[in-house]
Amino acid sequence: MKKISLTGLQPTGIITLGNYIGSIGQMVEYQEKYDSYIFIADMHAITINQDPKILKENIKSLIALYLACGIDPEKNTIYIQSENPYVANISWLLECNTYYGELSRMTQFKDKSLKNKNFTSGLLTYPVLMAADILSMNADYVPVGLDQKQHVELARDIAERFNKKYKKIFVVPEPILKDSGTKITDLQDPTKKMSKSSENQKGVIKLLEDLNIIRKKIMSATTDSEMRIVYDMENKPGISNLINIYSSLTKKSIKEIEEEFKDSNYGNFKSKVADVVVDTISKIQERYYEILNNEEYLNKILDEGKKKNIEVSKKIYEEMIECIGLGR
Ligand code: ATP
Ligand code: LTN
């Protein structure tokens, strides 16, 4: 039997070319290897203030975008966290087996609570809800970015504690770090990661952006005063970043690219990179709008995901209730 991998995506903001190259490729790889669950963590998103209308739009948009990028609904169980009432219940049962000290020591909590003095208790208990997502689906592996590794480690501690105290119900999950792939940097400041929350959006390419704007952003990417298209991340970060982008999207090696452009100037090279990026993103956008407009297709995927998600977590919930001694 295949092992289970599970990951949650927060429905905040449109994903970038950096997310696409760094993370979707890996997700596509995992869908071949594991029984893969991907869900929209909409209940996590409300730990900070959200506009209800925008939140709802973002949820569907994110699902459509992942499908458009190559996440195969035949190979993944796709669902929305808030559509399963067992998760919040399981989260409460886990909270009663988690120490306040553990939660208050989480790095993300410390950072976010310092930035916003008037934070809700949801910000503190956020990692327990995440543990509920993971433990309620018997996940073996949890692919996450480095910032979420500590939360998966807490889920492991809670699972081990519960298994020892009551009964061996939970699979103890392992984090898989998603950050091992190529890091795409900001087009304006190529020493910085391309991030969707970056202040200067001129250096960031979003997957749903106008194609002409994307081309312009690449054509005005920061480079250097030399005229050599060679890979040197330290001394030529701008050109190296463009080589990384070109290499990731064409699957050509860095050597092949250096050879291909050995007689080119920067303008030519940028224009070739722009062609490849625009071609990739235009195909994604085309599929995205097709999927978004096909309510029936989206609903079928989400209904199937919801059914499986509820089935598995209901069983876990009932086992928990029984061994804790709740109910009749
Ligand atoms: P934020 O601006 O909110 O921090 P982000 O765009 O930096 O968001 P994350 O949500 O932190 O992205 O990361 C989501 C996934 O995308 C992670 O797996 C991360 O490794 C990957 N990723 C994000 N940015 C890049 C990038 N520039 N290059 C490669 N991979 C990236
Ligand atoms: N906290 C994660 C999203 C998330 C998640 C999960 C990831 C919620 N529940 C369970 C993996 C497993 C984030 O902000 N990226």
H/E run at residue 297: helix 295-324
Whole-angstrom distance, CA of residue 1 vs CA of residue 37: 15
Residues facing 5 on adjacent strands: 36, 141
Question: Which atom of ligand 1 lies at the shortest distance from residue 182's CA?
Answer: 29
CA 303 to chain centre: 21
- 38 CA from centroid of ligand 2 (Å): 10
Q: Where in the chain is CATH 3.40.50.620?
A: 4-182+295-324
Positive or negative: CA dihedral 240, 245, 250, 251 = positive
The residues that bridge with 16 in the sheet, in sequence order, are: 206
Cβ of residue 175 lying under 6 Å from some atom of ligand 1: no
Check 60, 75, 183, 193 and give the catalytic one: 193
The pLDDT of residue 197: 83
- pLDDT for the residue numbered 222: 97
Predicted local distance difference test score (pLDDT) of residue 251: 92
- What is the distance in A from the centroid of ligand 1 to the CA of 243? 19
Residues of the chain with CATH 1.10.240.10: 201-288
pTM exceeding 0.75:
yes
Q: Is the dihedral of CA 57, 58, 64, 69 positive or negative?
A: positive
Strand pairing class (4-9; 174-177): unpaired
Q: Which residues of the chain have pLDDT under 70?
A: 179-181
Compute the distance between CA of residue 201 and CA of residue 66 in angstroms, rounded to an integer: 22
Predicted pLDDT of residue 34: 97
What is the chain's Cα-based Rg? 22
Tell me which of 60, 196, 252, 315 is the catalytic residue.
196
Beta strands in 84-217, from DSSP E residues, in sequence order: 141-144, 174-177
191 to 194, 234, 274: CA distances (angstroms): 9, 9, 20
The fourth-level CATH superfamily of domain 201-288 is Tyrosyl-Transfer RNA Synthetase (1.10.240.10)
Ligand 2 nearest-atom number relative to CA 126: 1
Count of residues making up the chain: 328
pLDDT attached to residue 179: 63
Q: What local confidence, expressed as pLDDT, does residue 180 receive?
A: 57
Crossing angle for the helix pair 295-324 and 52-68, to the nearest 10 degrees: 110
Q: What percent of the chain has pLDDT over 70?
A: 99
Catalytic annotation present for 164: no
User: Can you tell me the distance from the alpha carbon of 25 to that of 264, in angstroms, rounded to the nearest whole number?
Assistant: 29
Which CATH architecture describes the domain 4-182+295-324? 3-Layer(aba) Sandwich (3.40)
What average pLDDT does the chain have?
A: 95
- Is 14 within 8 Å of 208 (Cβ atoms)? yes
Which of 137, 133, 103 has the alpha carbon at shortest distance from 308? Answer: 137
User: CA dist 202 to 133, 184, 213, Å?
Assistant: 36, 14, 9
Which of the listed residues 44, 125, 146, 177 should we mutate to test ligand 2's pocket, taking the one with most ligand atoms within 8 A of CB?
Answer: 44
189 in Cβ contact with 201 (< 8 Å): no
pLDDT at 26: 84
